Amino acid sequence: MYFITNRILEGEDKEKQFKKTNECSPNLHFGKVGSGETVTVVKSSEMFADLRDFDGDSEFLLYVHGFNNQPWTDIFPNAEKMQNQLNDAELSYIKVLPIIWPCDDDFGVIKDYWDDQEAADFSGKFLARVIGKLMEWQQINEGNPCMKRIHIMAHSMGARVFMKSLSYFSKHIARGGVPYLFKNSFLMAPDIPNESLEKKEEGHHICTASQKVICYYANDDMAMPASKIANVKNLVFSRRLGHSGPEDWTSIPDSKVLAANCDSFNNKFDPKGHTYFMDKGTKKSPAFEHMVRMLKGGRIKDGDRRIVLKQS
């Protein structure tokens, strides 16, 4: 499995390890998962070419994890489980590629939250650099570019990393715009303000960069009140997108954004009701099943911008 990270790595190139810190590396690292909790670093051009040449009909799902997640205990196991769920849904040609940003694992959820939010803001610049490197590689290889579809799933505070990356790209790299990169952008329990996708807000670039944007939210997601409490400390009072869905639909592009209410099942898949896109035993997550339908070509119908998902 390939991955991209701005976490600090230490050791030899062929057997590097993630350093236990939430400090951001000044360098981007493109790598492959090795054995015994080691990774191998490769050049970005090598990774892009390998992904381009891998299985002609393949597509990619970028996975931007949430806060307080660690590579070997959370991120890679979740990515592998998602890959298995895609395989079971006859979508084995879609390959999961984790985007790993630094997270803390200190005791105390509020302290971790603030440490991770700062890391998420900085990591937005790192993901913007990834997009820039991909655009540069495409130009260099314009005779043989990568034409494969790219999807992205940003969970929890990973949505903040995603939002900050496009905002930074627009302001500092592209001077006002963002590329049309993503077939589907899945915002799963997104920990960003609920007005973020509106015009003139920081997250509206997500809509510009995507054909479809699907927001999964739950009113009883226990991580969202904790997020709200943490943000009040910083004088941010907006409800979270993962708690209520978008605030003002009149300021959001028609037929592009869909909000899926997950109230009826989120706590059945995760005690905190926050990581509800993972199957639990033989129980299939309705949120992930909906993702599958979108990946298979599902569309957002006019006038049907809010739906309620239920467990079958």
Q: How confident is the model at residue 174 (pLDDT cuts 50, 70, 90)?
A: confident
Q: How confident is the model at residue 311 (pLDDT cuts 50, 70, 90)?
A: confident
* Section 266-289 average pLDDT: 95
Query: Is residue 268 over pLDDT 70?
Result: yes
Nearest to 159 by CA among 129, 117, 221: 117
Q: What is the pLDDT of residue 57?
A: 76
* Section 207-224 average pLDDT: 92
Q: What is the pLDDT of residue 238?
A: 65
Number of helical H runs and strand E runs in the chain: 9, 12
Query: Is residue 3 over pLDDT 60?
Result: yes
Mean pLDDT of the chain: 89
Asked if residues 16 and 38 have their Cβ atoms less than 8 Å apart, the reply is yes
Domain at 44-308, CATH from 3.40.720, 3.40.50, 1.10.260, 3.30.450: 3.40.50
Q: Which two tokens stand for residue 147?
A: 């034409």
Q: How confident is the model at residue 45 (pLDDT cuts 50, 70, 90)?
A: very high
* Dihedral angle over CA of 210, 86, 44, 100, nearest 10: 80
Q: What is the pTM of this model?
A: 0.92
User: Would you put residue 246 in left (φ > 0), alpha (ψ -120 to 50) or beta?
Assistant: beta
Q: What is the pLDDT of residue 110?
A: 42
Find the range with the poorest average confidence among 100-109, 132-141, 150-159. 100-109
Q: Which two tokens stand for residue 224?
A: 């969202």
Q: For residue 137, count CB atoms less than 10 angstroms from its CB and return exposed for 0-12, middle for 13-18, buried for 19 or more.
A: middle
Nearest to 65 by CA among 175, 189, 179, 168: 189
Query: Is residue 157 over pLDDT 70?
Result: yes
- φ/ψ (deg, to 5) at 255: 55, 25
Query: Is residue 303 over pLDDT 60?
Result: yes
Query: Is residue 207 over pLDDT 60?
Result: yes
In what side-by-side order are the strands of the sheet with 306-308? 9-12, 15-18, 39-42, 24-33, 2-7, 94-100, 59-64, 150-155, 182-188, 210-217, 257-261, 306-308
Q: For residue 206, count CB atoms less than 10 angstroms from its CB and return exposed for 0-12, middle for 13-18, buried for 19 or more.
A: buried
Spatial neighbors of 142 by CB under 8 A, at least 6 apart, are none
Q: How confident is the model at residue 136 (pLDDT cuts 50, 70, 90)?
A: very high
- Residue whose structure tokens are 């381009």: 52
Query: Is residue 225 over pLDDT 60?
Result: no
Q: How confident is the model at residue 217 (pLDDT cuts 50, 70, 90)?
A: very high
Q: What is the pLDDT of residue 75?
A: 97
- Report the percentage of the chain scoring pLDDT > 70: 91
Q: How confident is the model at residue 54 (pLDDT cuts 50, 70, 90)?
A: confident
Q: What is the pLDDT of residue 78?
A: 97
Q: What is the pLDDT of residue 13?
A: 72
Query: Is residue 228 over pLDDT 60?
Result: no
pLDDT digits (tens, 9 = 90+) for 72-110: 999 999 999 999 999 999 999 999 999 999 886 654 444
d(CA 210, CA 163) in angstroms, rounded, equals 12
Distances (CA, A) of 223 to 118, 149, 209: 18, 32, 27
Q: What is the pLDDT of residue 210?
A: 97
d(CA 252, CA 68) in angstroms, rounded, equals 31
- Cβ neighbour number for residue 73 with a 10 Å cutoff: 10
d(CA 81, CA 153) in angstroms, rounded, equals 14
Is the Cα dihedral 201, 207, 208, 210 positive or negative? positive
d(CA 64, CA 88) in angstroms, rounded, equals 22
- Residue whose structure tokens are 């910083």: 234
Find the range with the poorest average confidence among 52-56, 129-133, 243-247, 287-291. 52-56
**How is the chain split into domains, by residue range?**
44-308
d(CA 218, CA 273) in angstroms, rounded, equals 8
d(CA 45, CA 134) in angstroms, rounded, equals 9
